[in-house]
Protein backbone atom coordinates (compact mmCIF):
# COMPACT_ATOMS: atom_id res chain seq x y z
CA UNK A 1 0.00 0.00 0.00
CA UNK A 2 1.27 3.50 -0.90
CA UNK A 3 2.49 5.59 2.03
CA UNK A 4 -0.33 8.11 2.85
CA UNK A 5 2.00 11.14 2.80
CA UNK A 6 3.36 10.15 -0.63
CA UNK A 7 -0.20 9.54 -1.88
CA UNK A 8 -1.27 13.00 -0.68
CA UNK A 9 1.71 14.77 -2.25
CA UNK A 10 1.10 12.97 -5.53
CA UNK A 11 -2.58 13.91 -5.84
CA UNK A 12 -1.95 17.49 -4.67
CA UNK A 13 0.68 17.77 -7.39
CA UNK A 14 -1.80 16.45 -9.92
CA UNK A 15 -4.37 18.99 -8.71
CA UNK A 16 -1.80 21.79 -9.16
CA UNK A 17 -1.00 20.63 -12.69
CA UNK A 18 -4.71 20.82 -13.54
CA UNK A 19 -5.04 24.30 -11.91
CA UNK A 20 -7.46 22.93 -9.34
CA UNK A 21 -8.44 24.96 -6.29
CA UNK A 22 -9.66 22.23 -3.93
CA UNK A 23 -9.13 18.56 -3.18
CA UNK A 24 -11.73 16.46 -1.34
CA UNK A 25 -11.11 13.05 0.22
CA UNK A 26 -13.92 10.89 1.62
CA UNK A 27 -13.91 7.18 2.39
CA UNK A 28 -15.37 5.11 -0.42
CA UNK A 29 -14.97 7.81 -3.08
CA UNK A 30 -12.15 8.64 -5.50
CA UNK A 31 -10.20 11.87 -4.87
CA UNK A 32 -12.23 14.79 -6.19
CA UNK A 33 -10.80 18.13 -7.28
CA UNK A 34 -12.53 21.40 -8.07
CA UNK A 35 -11.53 23.10 -11.32
CA UNK A 36 -13.24 26.36 -12.33
CA UNK A 37 -15.99 25.66 -9.84
CA UNK A 38 -16.73 22.09 -11.02
CA UNK A 39 -16.04 18.80 -9.22
CA UNK A 40 -13.94 16.33 -11.22
CA UNK A 41 -12.73 12.89 -10.06
CA UNK A 42 -9.02 12.22 -10.53
CA UNK A 43 -8.89 9.65 -13.31
CA UNK A 44 -7.13 6.39 -12.53
CA UNK A 45 -7.24 6.86 -8.76
CA UNK A 46 -8.60 4.14 -6.50
CA UNK A 47 -11.31 4.73 -3.94
CA UNK A 48 -9.89 6.37 -0.82
CA UNK A 49 -10.08 4.25 2.33
CA UNK A 50 -10.89 5.40 5.83
CA UNK A 51 -7.49 4.11 6.96
CA UNK A 52 -5.64 6.37 4.50
CA UNK A 53 -7.70 9.41 5.54
CA UNK A 54 -7.02 8.74 9.23
CA UNK A 55 -3.28 8.48 8.61
CA UNK A 56 -3.25 11.71 6.59
CA UNK A 57 -5.14 13.51 9.35
CA UNK A 58 -2.59 12.30 11.90
CA UNK A 59 0.15 14.03 9.89
CA UNK A 60 -1.38 17.46 10.50
CA UNK A 61 -3.03 17.26 13.92
CA UNK A 62 -1.22 17.99 17.16
CA UNK A 63 -2.52 16.54 20.46
CA UNK A 64 -4.66 19.60 21.26
CA UNK A 65 -6.22 19.56 17.80
CA UNK A 66 -7.00 15.85 18.13
CA UNK A 67 -8.91 16.63 21.33
CA UNK A 68 -10.73 19.53 19.61
CA UNK A 69 -11.64 17.30 16.65
CA UNK A 70 -13.20 14.73 18.97
CA UNK A 71 -15.13 17.42 20.83
CA UNK A 72 -16.31 19.64 17.97
CA UNK A 73 -16.22 17.07 15.12
CA UNK A 74 -14.34 19.52 12.89
CA UNK A 75 -11.02 21.35 12.74
CA UNK A 76 -9.77 23.92 10.21
CA UNK A 77 -6.05 24.64 9.95
CA UNK A 78 -3.52 26.00 7.48
CA UNK A 79 -0.36 24.09 6.59
CA UNK A 80 2.48 24.28 4.08
CA UNK A 81 2.80 21.12 2.00
CA UNK A 82 5.67 20.81 -0.48
CA UNK A 83 6.14 24.59 -0.55
CA UNK A 84 2.43 25.20 -1.17
CA UNK A 85 -0.03 26.59 1.38
CA UNK A 86 -3.40 24.93 2.01
CA UNK A 87 -6.41 25.48 4.23
CA UNK A 88 -7.29 22.02 5.53
CA UNK A 89 -10.72 21.07 6.82
CA UNK A 90 -10.79 17.83 8.84
CA UNK A 91 -14.30 16.74 9.77
CA UNK A 92 -16.63 13.78 10.26
CA UNK A 93 -19.25 12.48 7.85
CA UNK A 94 -21.19 9.24 8.38
CA UNK A 95 -19.04 8.69 11.47
CA UNK A 96 -15.81 8.70 9.42
CA UNK A 97 -13.16 11.34 8.90
CA UNK A 98 -13.12 13.34 5.66
CA UNK A 99 -10.63 15.92 4.41
CA UNK A 100 -10.65 18.93 2.13
CA UNK A 101 -7.66 20.97 0.97
CA UNK A 102 -8.05 24.50 -0.39
CA UNK A 103 -5.05 26.00 -2.20
CA UNK A 104 -3.91 29.42 -0.94
CA UNK A 105 -1.83 31.27 -3.56
CA UNK A 106 1.61 32.28 -2.38
CA UNK A 107 1.35 35.68 -4.07
CA UNK A 108 -1.32 38.17 -3.01
CA UNK A 109 -3.13 39.32 -6.15
CA UNK A 110 -3.48 42.99 -7.04
CA UNK A 111 -6.87 44.62 -7.62
CA UNK A 112 -6.24 44.51 -11.37
CA UNK A 113 -5.38 40.80 -11.28
CA UNK A 114 -8.56 40.07 -9.31
CA UNK A 115 -10.72 41.91 -11.82
CA UNK A 116 -12.33 43.93 -9.04
CA UNK A 117 -14.75 46.56 -10.32
CA UNK A 118 -13.05 49.96 -10.56
CA UNK A 119 -15.29 51.61 -7.91
CA UNK A 120 -13.98 49.04 -5.43
CA UNK A 121 -10.76 51.02 -5.38
CA UNK A 122 -12.65 53.72 -3.50
CA UNK A 123 -12.43 51.50 -0.45
CA UNK A 124 -8.67 52.11 -0.39
CA UNK A 125 -9.49 55.71 0.56
CA UNK A 126 -12.09 54.69 3.11
CA UNK A 127 -12.35 56.70 6.30
CA UNK A 128 -12.72 54.94 9.66
CA UNK A 129 -15.84 52.80 9.80
CA UNK A 130 -17.09 49.34 8.85
CA UNK A 131 -16.29 47.85 5.45
CA UNK A 132 -17.88 44.47 4.77
CA UNK A 133 -16.64 41.95 2.19
CA UNK A 134 -19.33 39.37 1.51
CA UNK A 135 -19.98 36.33 -0.63
CA UNK A 136 -20.70 32.63 -0.46
CA UNK A 137 -18.11 29.99 0.45
CA UNK A 138 -15.26 29.89 -2.10
CA UNK A 139 -16.26 33.25 -3.58
CA UNK A 140 -12.80 34.68 -2.94
CA UNK A 141 -13.69 36.94 0.01
CA UNK A 142 -10.40 36.31 1.81
CA UNK A 143 -8.41 36.82 -1.40
CA UNK A 144 -10.09 40.19 -1.95
CA UNK A 145 -9.52 41.19 1.69
CA UNK A 146 -5.85 40.22 1.38
CA UNK A 147 -5.50 42.30 -1.78
CA UNK A 148 -7.03 45.30 -0.04
CA UNK A 149 -4.81 44.92 3.03
CA UNK A 150 -1.68 44.48 0.90
CA UNK A 151 -2.50 47.64 -1.07
CA UNK A 152 -2.89 49.58 2.20
CA UNK A 153 0.35 47.96 3.40
CA UNK A 154 2.22 49.25 0.34
CA UNK A 155 0.71 52.74 0.10
CA UNK A 156 -0.08 53.95 3.63
CA UNK A 157 1.67 54.09 7.01
CA UNK A 158 -0.84 52.26 9.19
CA UNK A 159 -0.94 49.95 12.18
CA UNK A 160 -2.89 46.96 10.83
CA UNK A 161 -4.02 43.98 12.91
CA UNK A 162 -5.64 40.88 11.44
CA UNK A 163 -7.76 38.53 13.56
CA UNK A 164 -8.04 35.16 11.86
CA UNK A 165 -8.89 31.52 12.47
CA UNK A 166 -6.80 30.21 10.82
CA UNK A 167 -4.27 32.60 9.25
CA UNK A 168 -4.32 32.09 5.48
CA UNK A 169 -2.32 34.75 3.64
CA UNK A 170 0.99 35.81 5.18
CA UNK A 171 1.87 39.52 5.09
CA UNK A 172 5.26 41.19 5.32
CA UNK A 173 5.18 44.72 6.75
CA UNK A 174 6.07 47.35 4.15
CA UNK A 175 4.99 50.99 4.61
CA UNK A 176 2.55 49.76 7.26
CA UNK A 177 3.05 47.56 10.30
CA UNK A 178 0.99 44.37 10.06
CA UNK A 179 0.45 42.00 12.98
CA UNK A 180 -1.50 38.78 12.40
CA UNK A 181 -3.19 37.11 15.35
CA UNK A 182 -4.71 33.64 15.18
CA UNK A 183 -7.52 32.82 17.58
CA UNK A 184 -6.52 30.00 19.89
CA UNK A 185 -2.82 30.46 19.11
CA UNK A 186 -1.92 34.14 19.55
CA UNK A 187 -5.02 35.18 21.47
CA UNK A 188 -7.58 33.15 23.39
CA UNK A 189 -10.74 34.40 21.71
CA UNK A 190 -12.18 36.87 19.24
CA UNK A 191 -13.48 38.95 22.16
CA UNK A 192 -9.99 39.14 23.69
CA UNK A 193 -8.51 40.15 20.33
CA UNK A 194 -11.05 42.95 19.95
CA UNK A 195 -10.44 44.13 23.52
CA UNK A 196 -6.74 44.39 22.67
CA UNK A 197 -7.52 46.47 19.57
CA UNK A 198 -9.79 48.77 21.58
CA UNK A 199 -6.95 49.52 24.00
CA UNK A 200 -4.24 50.00 21.35
CA UNK A 201 -3.35 52.58 18.69
CA UNK A 202 -4.75 50.65 15.72
CA UNK A 203 -5.70 52.08 12.32
CA UNK A 204 -7.12 49.03 10.52
CA UNK A 205 -8.50 45.73 11.80
CA UNK A 206 -9.35 42.80 9.54
CA UNK A 207 -11.60 40.00 10.86
CA UNK A 208 -12.05 36.93 8.72
CA UNK A 209 -15.35 35.09 8.44
CA UNK A 210 -16.82 34.07 11.79
CA UNK A 211 -18.57 30.73 11.47
CA UNK A 212 -19.82 30.70 15.08
CA UNK A 213 -23.05 32.73 15.14
CA UNK A 214 -22.90 33.17 18.89
CA UNK A 215 -19.34 34.50 18.76
CA UNK A 216 -20.41 36.75 15.87
CA UNK A 217 -23.25 38.29 17.92
CA UNK A 218 -21.04 38.77 20.96
CA UNK A 219 -18.33 40.42 18.86
CA UNK A 220 -20.53 42.89 16.98
CA UNK A 221 -20.83 45.55 19.74
CA UNK A 222 -17.03 45.65 20.05
CA UNK A 223 -16.66 45.77 16.26
CA UNK A 224 -19.07 48.73 16.20
CA UNK A 225 -17.10 50.43 18.98
CA UNK A 226 -13.88 50.05 17.00
CA UNK A 227 -15.46 51.28 13.77
CA UNK A 228 -17.02 54.31 15.47
CA UNK A 229 -13.58 55.51 16.57
CA UNK A 230 -10.55 56.10 14.37
CA UNK A 231 -10.34 52.56 13.01
CA UNK A 232 -11.32 51.00 9.69
CA UNK A 233 -12.75 47.54 10.37
CA UNK A 234 -12.76 45.11 7.42
CA UNK A 235 -15.18 42.29 8.16
CA UNK A 236 -15.88 39.13 6.14
CA UNK A 237 -19.44 37.81 6.09
CA UNK A 238 -21.06 34.86 4.32
CA UNK A 239 -23.99 36.43 2.45
CA UNK A 240 -24.95 36.85 -1.20
CA UNK A 241 -26.22 40.45 -1.29
CA UNK A 242 -25.86 43.78 0.49
CA UNK A 243 -29.39 43.50 1.83
CA UNK A 244 -28.73 40.10 3.42
CA UNK A 245 -25.43 41.39 4.85
CA UNK A 246 -27.13 44.23 6.70
CA UNK A 247 -30.01 42.02 7.79
CA UNK A 248 -27.52 39.60 9.32
CA UNK A 249 -25.65 42.42 11.07
CA UNK A 250 -28.85 43.79 12.61
CA UNK A 251 -30.04 40.31 13.63
CA UNK A 252 -26.67 39.71 15.32
CA UNK A 253 -26.99 42.95 17.26
CA UNK A 254 -30.54 42.22 18.43
CA UNK A 255 -29.56 40.57 21.76
CA UNK A 256 -27.40 43.52 22.85
CA UNK A 257 -29.03 46.64 21.34
CA UNK A 258 -32.59 47.87 20.72
CA UNK A 259 -33.32 47.55 16.99
CA UNK A 260 -33.66 51.30 16.43
CA UNK A 261 -30.33 52.01 18.12
CA UNK A 262 -28.70 49.22 16.10
CA UNK A 263 -29.98 50.70 12.82
CA UNK A 264 -28.76 54.20 13.68
CA UNK A 265 -25.35 52.91 14.76
CA UNK A 266 -25.00 50.86 11.59
CA UNK A 267 -25.98 53.84 9.42
CA UNK A 268 -23.36 55.98 11.14
CA UNK A 269 -20.38 53.61 10.86
CA UNK A 270 -20.98 51.76 7.58
CA UNK A 271 -18.45 52.52 4.85
CA UNK A 272 -19.84 50.09 2.32
CA UNK A 273 -20.45 46.50 1.30
CA UNK A 274 -18.57 44.61 -1.40
CA UNK A 275 -20.39 41.40 -2.34
CA UNK A 276 -18.79 39.07 -4.85
CA UNK A 277 -19.31 35.90 -6.83
CA UNK A 278 -16.87 33.82 -8.89
CA UNK A 279 -18.23 32.71 -12.26
CA UNK A 280 -16.82 30.30 -14.82
CA UNK A 281 -15.00 32.24 -17.55
CA UNK A 282 -15.57 31.37 -21.19
CA UNK A 283 -12.49 29.40 -22.26
CA UNK A 284 -11.43 28.44 -18.73
CA UNK A 285 -10.74 29.99 -15.38
CA UNK A 286 -12.96 32.11 -13.14
CA UNK A 287 -13.98 35.75 -13.29
CA UNK A 288 -15.20 37.98 -10.45
CA UNK A 289 -18.61 39.65 -10.38
CA UNK A 290 -19.17 42.39 -7.77
CA UNK A 291 -21.97 44.19 -6.03
CA UNK A 292 -20.89 47.50 -4.47
CA UNK A 293 -22.95 49.42 -1.93
CA UNK A 294 -21.61 52.77 -0.76
CA UNK A 295 -23.09 54.43 2.32
CA UNK A 296 -24.41 57.69 0.91
CA UNK A 297 -27.21 59.85 2.33
CA UNK A 298 -29.95 57.77 0.73
CA UNK A 299 -28.52 54.52 2.09
CA UNK A 300 -28.17 55.99 5.59
CA UNK A 301 -31.82 57.07 5.56
CA UNK A 302 -33.08 53.65 4.45
CA UNK A 303 -31.08 51.88 7.16
CA UNK A 304 -32.35 54.25 9.86
CA UNK A 305 -35.94 53.97 8.65
CA UNK A 306 -35.85 50.14 8.57
CA UNK A 307 -36.25 50.04 4.79
CA UNK A 308 -33.22 47.94 3.95
CA UNK A 309 -35.26 46.03 1.37
CA UNK A 310 -35.21 49.21 -0.78
CA UNK A 311 -31.42 49.28 -0.99
CA UNK A 312 -31.41 47.32 -4.24
CA UNK A 313 -33.24 50.21 -5.92
CA UNK A 314 -30.67 52.72 -4.62
CA UNK A 315 -27.81 50.56 -5.93
CA UNK A 316 -29.42 50.38 -9.37
CA UNK A 317 -29.92 54.16 -9.58
CA UNK A 318 -26.51 55.15 -8.16
CA UNK A 319 -24.16 53.84 -10.84
CA UNK A 320 -22.57 57.29 -11.26
CA UNK A 321 -21.55 57.25 -7.59
CA UNK A 322 -19.75 53.94 -8.04
CA UNK A 323 -22.45 51.51 -6.96
CA UNK A 324 -23.30 48.43 -8.98
CA UNK A 325 -25.70 45.54 -8.43
CA UNK A 326 -24.59 41.94 -8.72
CA UNK A 327 -27.11 41.39 -11.52
CA UNK A 328 -25.70 44.33 -13.47
CA UNK A 329 -22.13 43.11 -12.93
CA UNK A 330 -23.08 39.65 -14.20
CA UNK A 331 -24.91 41.10 -17.21
CA UNK A 332 -21.86 43.21 -18.06
CA UNK A 333 -19.73 40.06 -18.07
CA UNK A 334 -22.22 38.30 -20.34
CA UNK A 335 -22.37 41.24 -22.76
CA UNK A 336 -18.58 41.46 -22.88
CA UNK A 337 -18.43 37.78 -23.85
CA UNK A 338 -16.38 36.78 -20.79
CA UNK A 339 -19.05 34.42 -19.43
CA UNK A 340 -22.00 32.50 -20.78
CA UNK A 341 -25.44 33.07 -19.31
CA UNK A 342 -25.88 29.35 -18.64
CA UNK A 343 -22.74 29.34 -16.42
CA UNK A 344 -24.13 31.87 -13.94
Cα angle, residue 221 at apex, residues 198 and 228 outer, rounded to 5°:
60
Q: Say if 4-104 and 111-343 have the same CATH topology.
A: no
Of 23-27, 115-119, 232-236, the poorest mean pLDDT is in 115-119
Share of the chain above pLDDT 90, in %: 78
* DSSP-H helix ranges across the chain: 4-17, 50-60, 63-72, 111-114, 141-155, 190-198, 213-227, 242-253, 259-269, 297-304, 311-317, 326-336
- At residue 20, the 3 state secondary structure works out as coil
Q: What's residue 44's pLDDT?
A: 82
C-beta of residue 167 within 8 angstroms of C-beta of residue 199: no
CA quadruple 85, 90, 93, 96: dihedral sign: positive
Residue among 1, 8, 3, 46 at smallest CA distance from 27: 46
pLDDT average, residue stretch 17-24? 92
Per the prediction, the chain carries an average pLDDT of 92
pTM score, whole prediction: 0.92
Cα angle, residue 39 at apex, residues 37 and 44 outer, rounded to 5°:
140
Q: What's residue 1's pLDDT?
A: 55
Domain ranges within the chain, ordered by starting residue: 4-104, 111-343
Q: Using H for helix, E for strand and C for coil, what is the string for 149-192?
A: HHHHHHHCCCEEEEEECCCCCCCCCCCCEEEEEEECCCECCHHH
Q: What's residue 2's pLDDT?
A: 75
pLDDT average, residue stretch 292-309? 96
CB burial of 229-246 (b: ≥16 within 10 Å; e: otherwise) equals eebbbbbbbbbbbbbbbb
C-beta of residue 50 within 8 angstroms of C-beta of residue 97: yes
Distance CA 277, CA 135 (A): 6
Q: What share of the chain is helix, strand, coil (3-state, %, to 5)?
A: 40, 25, 30
Distance CA 137, CA 319 (A): 27
- At residue 89, the 3 state secondary structure works out as strand
DSSP code of residue 275: E
Tell me the CATH architecture of domain 4-104: 2-Layer Sandwich (3.30)
C-beta of residue 111 within 8 angstroms of C-beta of residue 276: no
Phi-psi region of 115 (alpha: psi -120 to 50; beta: other; left: phi over 0): left
pLDDT in tens, 279-297: 999 988 899 999 999 999 9
C-beta of residue 31 within 8 angstroms of C-beta of residue 42: yes
pLDDT in tens, 199-237: 999 999 999 998 888 888 899 999 999 999 989 999 999
Return all residues near 275 (Cβ < 8 A) that are at least 6 apart.
Answer: 134, 135, 239, 240, 241, 242, 245, 290, 291, 292, 293, 326
pLDDT in tens, 71-101: 999 999 999 998 899 999 999 999 999 999 9
pLDDT at 42 over 90: no
DSSP code of residue 340: -
pLDDT in tens, 160-203: 999 999 999 999 999 999 999 999 999 999 999 999 999 999 99
Q: What's residue 7's pLDDT?
A: 92
Return all residues near 24 (Cβ < 8 A) that are at least 6 apart.
Answer: 31, 32, 33, 34, 39, 98, 99, 100, 101
CATH of 111-343, one of 3.40.50.2300, 3.90.1150.10, 3.40.50.300, 3.20.20.70: 3.40.50.300
Amino acid sequence: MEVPSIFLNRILSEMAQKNGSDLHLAAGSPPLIRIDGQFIPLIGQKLVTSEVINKIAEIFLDPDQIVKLKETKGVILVKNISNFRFRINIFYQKGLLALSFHYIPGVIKSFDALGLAAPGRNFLRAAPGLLIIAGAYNSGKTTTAASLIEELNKTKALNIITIEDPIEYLFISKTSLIMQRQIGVDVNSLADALDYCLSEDVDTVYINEMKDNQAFSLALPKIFELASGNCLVILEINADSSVRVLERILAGLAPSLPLEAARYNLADILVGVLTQKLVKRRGGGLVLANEILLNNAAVKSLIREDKIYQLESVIQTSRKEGMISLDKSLNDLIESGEVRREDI
